Every structure is written in C-alpha cells, then in structure tokens.
Chains A and B, each alone.
Chain A
Amino acid sequence: MREKTLCTIVTFLTPTDAMAFECFAGQHDLPGRLIPVPSAVSAGCGICWCAPHEEAGALGALKAANTLAIEAIYTLLI
C-alpha cells in the first residue's frame, strides 16, 4: 500500500455534480482527481474530488461561492 497523505476531499450530492466539478476543474486547472468516496466520509458508493491538502483554501472558496454543487469538504489522511 502506498503511503497515506493529507488530502482535501470534496463531496457531492450526486455523481452528476461530481462530473460537473471535474469539468470545471479541467477548465480552471484545479489539481486533483475523482476517487471513490472514502468510508470515513460516507459508507456506500459514490465519487468525490481528491485534491492536495494545499488546495483546501481554494476549494473552500469555491464552496462559499455556491456556484458549484459542492456538498461538503473534508481533510483526510488517505
């Protein structure tokens, strides 16, 4: 297993919202990628955005701007 690192996790209400975020991230050169939702956040299935921890501020600002359907932001060691 690879070494765990501190990451910023962005969750969404729906997979479609996650795809919309991935599209936005690609257009704005936001680092990160879609991964399965960690069980520490939610049991079950789903996809979320995983970004380096340094991006927490920028992602928090995106959530505050309320233009993208971001459900929540977490900091996790994964």
Chain B
Amino acid sequence: MIYLDNAATTVKKPPAVIESVTAALTCMGSANRAAHDISLSASRIVYEARGKLAAMFSCDAERVVFTANATEALNIAVHGVLKPGDHALTTDWEHNSVLRPLYRLERDSQVGLSFAPADSAGSIDYADFERFLQPDTRAIICTHASNLTGDMFDLGRIGELAKTRDILFIVDASQTAGIFPLDMKRFGIDILCFTGHKSLLGPQGVGGLAIGSGVDIAPWKVGGTGMDTFNHDQPQAYPERLEAGTLNAHGIAGLSAALDFIHDTGMQAIRMKEQALADRFYQGIKDLPQVTCYGDFSRERAPIVSLNIGTTDSGTISAELADAFGIATRPGGHCAPRLHEALGTKQQGAVRFSFSWFNTADETDAAIEAIRYLATE
C-alpha cells in the first residue's frame, strides 16, 4: 500500500527507531526510580532525549516534559496556565486537542474564549489576533500548521504580539516538529507541545512539552516522581513536576533514535523532500476537473494537500483510493471542526494526502493518476 496518511502518524520509521525500541524492551528498567544499572540505563536514555529535544527547540533540558502525546501535552498546558476569569485567544484552524480542553474550561471554569476566524478560503487575518485580545487575555494558543490544509502561521509574528502584551504563547507543533525549525526563543514561544510519532518519526505513545524559562504550569496529574516520597504535594521542580507516573522510556528510546536520524539526515533536507512531494502532487491534480484543493499554496506550508472531487463524500473517495489503488489517505473531519465549517466542508469532509521522508516520486505520481481517474471517470 502507498501510505499517504503521515499527518496522522508516520508508519515507516528509520530502522534505528525500531532497533532502539526493541533493545529497550529487552533490557530497560524504569527511568529515574533507582540507582541500579537497569534503571539508570533508562534514565540515561530519557536524559539524552531531553537534551536532543532541548537543542531542537532552544530550551533548557529540564524543561522538556514527556507525555503520551500532543493531546496530553496541550491538556497539561491549557489546564495548567488558565484560571477562572482568564481569557484565551485561539483560532479556527485548531484541532480538537486544543479546542476541547478550551471548550471545557469555557463551560466549567469561567475561562473566556475567542477565535481568530478563518474565511471561506481557510485564511486567517493576523490583524484578528490583535483585534480579539482583551485586557484579561492570559494566553494565545494556536497550531503551527493546520492538520487539515497544511497552511502555516508565522509564529514569530504571533509570538512578538504575545510578548508585547505579556501574554503566554502556546503552540501546537504536532504537524511541524522535526521538519520545521522551532526555536522557542526566536519565535517567542512559551510552551511548545509536540508529538513524537508524526514528523518526528518516533513511536506512538510519546509526546511532550517544551517550556520556556520563567513559565510555570500547575500540575494536571500528580503522583510518583522518584523523589521527595513523603511530601504530600507534587514536587515543584521540572520536569518531574509534570511527569507523575512511569515514563514511556521504551518509546522515548525510539524517539531519541528518531532525533538522531533527523539530525544526521538534516531537518532541511527532510522538509524540502516532503514539500517537493506535496507540491508535485498538488501541481498534478490542481487543474483536474471537479477537484477542489483547500488552503493557500502560494506560501511555505506543511506537506499536506487536502481535496474533494465534486460533491462526492470524502469517505467514498478515500475508500476507493484504498480499495482500487492501494493508497492510504484520511477522509472526513480530521478533528478540525471549525476549519471545515469555514471551508463549507462540514458534510463532505476532505481527502487528506500527507507526505513523509519515506515517500517517493513514484508513489506521488500513482496518487496523481488515481485522482485523475476518479475525477474524470
């Protein structure tokens, strides 16, 4: 099967990732819990991975917190900084991993919520970020790239606005960590949430937050930390403050190997290949009859192309691509309800093609031919 659902998860991983997870499963103990070699081997791998992520995001290693995924990281960030009476500004591009925690806080905790709106082309006016700020705005929370269209925000521009207003800037980098530079200091990011299994090429079950210096997050979960046993309260020092419970050290070992692969291969080389494949696909299908693509293709973007063919249900197209052509895509709503409403695709959904380092030009051409066939049959 030709796998073009990499925005959901990258299936093909660098061989070193698989080897690293396998090795970890055979000999690794619980990280940060004991001083015997089996535990320390896990602690060392976790510490190394923190350091690699800290270098990637320009933050301190002890402020890299591991979670199960980006959703957990976003929940920790949002619930840990917003208090009753606060206002938060987010956007119509967001995934439910951002929207649902915010909706819950709005409903249950008197947190005010505003959205920078997307127009019918999916575009968001940067002026709206400033327009919707309020005196009590505590945080701007936004994605780096839409998981539906691949359109990207200029993080530096939003980060600068947040800094001038003394507002926290929380970024969901689920679609971009590993392929785009994410310098927290340069972009003014206070909290960066990431997942390990998409463009970072690691295993599922590992994600995290990178937290800027001086930013405090109240613990969302509390429990064992391997330290300060008789304290009734969660220790305050990072990263353990936000890491109650046994870490997924097996997964972190795989992520660490994936970070080495990205470093050795070159983030820019990976990004350019993925973008070239996405652009090749877009150029091949954009002028086909009945084909509608979503997003702004005139700017730098994540390697995602979403489309519809006429008024045919996106699930029908995706199923036909899988059954008749052996091509894996994602149809439906993509957990991005507000952007679908803006694009007018709430009922139809959209068929998303998303590319990774391991895809090829031949696979891309096969996808073009499949869409050509379906659009003209």
- The interface of chain A, by Cβ under 8 A from chain B, is 13-20, 22-23, 33-36, 43-47, 69
Q: Is B32 an interface residue (CB 8 A)?
A: yes
Asked if B35 and A19 sit within 8 Å, CB to CB, the answer is: no
- For residue B43, which residue of chain A has the nearest CB? A19
Instruction: Please give the distance in Å from B208's CB to the nearest CB on chain A.
Output: 13
Q: Is B62 an interface residue (CB 8 A)?
A: yes
Asked if B230 and A14 sit within 8 Å, CB to CB, the answer is: no
Given pairs A13-B235, A15-B227, 19 additional interface contacts (CB within 8 A)? A13-B237, A14-B227, A14-B237, A14-B239, A15-B225, A15-B240, A16-B32, A16-B61, A16-B62, A16-B239, A16-B240, A17-B237, A19-B47, A34-B40, A43-B229, A44-B230, A46-B227, A46-B229, A69-B62
The 5 A-B pairs of least Cβ separation, nearest first, read A44-B229, A15-B32, A19-B47, A46-B227, A14-B237
Q: A44-B228, A44-B229, A45-B229 are in contact. Are A16 and B47 (CB under 8 A)?
A: yes
Question: B237 contacts which chain A residues (CB < 8 A)?
Answer: 13-14, 17
- For residue A47, which residue of chain B has the nearest CB? B35
- Of the listed residues A22, A23, A47, A69, the one surrounded by the most CB atoms of chain B closer than 10 A to its CB is A47
Q: Is B289 an interface residue (CB 8 A)?
A: no
Q: A35-B35, A45-B33, A47-B35 are in contact. Are A15 and B229 (CB under 8 A)?
A: no
Asked if A46 and B226 sit within 8 Å, CB to CB, the answer is: yes
Question: A35 contacts which chain B residues (CB < 8 A)?
Answer: 35
Question: B44 contacts which chain A residues (CB < 8 A)?
Answer: 19, 22
Question: B40 contacts which chain A residues (CB < 8 A)?
Answer: 22, 34
Q: Is B34 an interface residue (CB 8 A)?
A: yes
Instruction: Please give the distance in Å from A27's CB to the nearest CB on chain B.
Output: 12
- The interface of chain B, by Cβ under 8 A from chain A, is 31-35, 40, 43-44, 46-47, 50, 61-62, 225-230, 235, 237-240
Question: B225 contacts which chain A residues (CB < 8 A)?
Answer: 14-15
Instruction: Give Cα A69 to B227, complex, Å.
Output: 15
- 9 CB < 8 A contacts A-B: A15-B226, A16-B50, A16-B62, A16-B239, A22-B44, A23-B47, A35-B35, A36-B35, A69-B62
Instruction: Give Cα A26 to B17, complex, Å.
Output: 26
Instruction: Please give the distance in Å from B314's CB to the nearest CB on chain A.
Output: 45
Instruction: Please give the distance in Å from A17's CB to the nearest CB on chain B.
Output: 7
- Of the listed residues A14, A16, A35, the one surrounded by the most CB atoms of chain B closer than 10 A to its CB is A16
Question: B229 contacts which chain A residues (CB < 8 A)?
Answer: 43-46
Instruction: Give Cα A12 to B32, complex, Å.
Output: 12
Instruction: Please give the distance in Å from B78's CB to the nearest CB on chain A.
Output: 24
Asked if B43 and A14 sit within 8 Å, CB to CB, the answer is: no
Instruction: Please give the distance in Å from A34's CB to the nearest CB on chain B.
Output: 5
Instruction: Please give the distance in Å from B217's CB to the nearest CB on chain A.
Output: 16
Question: B32 contacts which chain A residues (CB < 8 A)?
Answer: 15-16, 19, 47
- For residue B62, which residue of chain A has the nearest CB? A16
Question: A46 contacts which chain B residues (CB < 8 A)?
Answer: 226-229
Question: B46 contacts which chain A residues (CB < 8 A)?
Answer: 19
- For residue B32, which residue of chain A has the nearest CB? A15
Q: A15-B32, A36-B35 are in contact. Are A45 and B47 (CB under 8 A)?
A: no
Instruction: Give Cα A68 to B129, complex, Å.
Output: 40
Instruction: Please give the distance in Å from B28's CB to the nearest CB on chain A.
Output: 14
Asked if A20 and B33 sit within 8 Å, CB to CB, the answer is: no
Question: A17 contacts which chain B residues (CB < 8 A)?
Answer: 62, 237
Instruction: Please give the distance in Å from A11's CB to the nearest CB on chain B.
Output: 10
Question: A33 contacts which chain B residues (CB < 8 A)?
Answer: 35
Instruction: Give Cα A46 to B61, complex, Å.
Output: 19
Question: B50 contacts which chain A residues (CB < 8 A)?
Answer: 16
Asked if B47 and A20 sit within 8 Å, CB to CB, the answer is: yes
Instruction: Give Cα A20 to B226, complex, Å.
Output: 16
Instruction: Please give the distance in Å from A74's CB to the nearest CB on chain B.
Output: 16
Instruction: Give Cα A14 to B228, complex, Å.
Output: 9
Question: A18 contacts which chain B residues (CB < 8 A)?
Answer: 43
Question: A47 contacts which chain B residues (CB < 8 A)?
Answer: 32, 34-35, 43, 226
Instruction: Please give the distance in Å from B248's CB to the nearest CB on chain A.
Output: 16
Question: A44 contacts which chain B residues (CB < 8 A)?
Answer: 227-230
Instruction: Please give the distance in Å from A42's CB to the nearest CB on chain B.
Output: 8
Q: Which one of A22, A43, A69 contacts B230 once the chains associate, using CB atoms below 8 Å?
A: A43
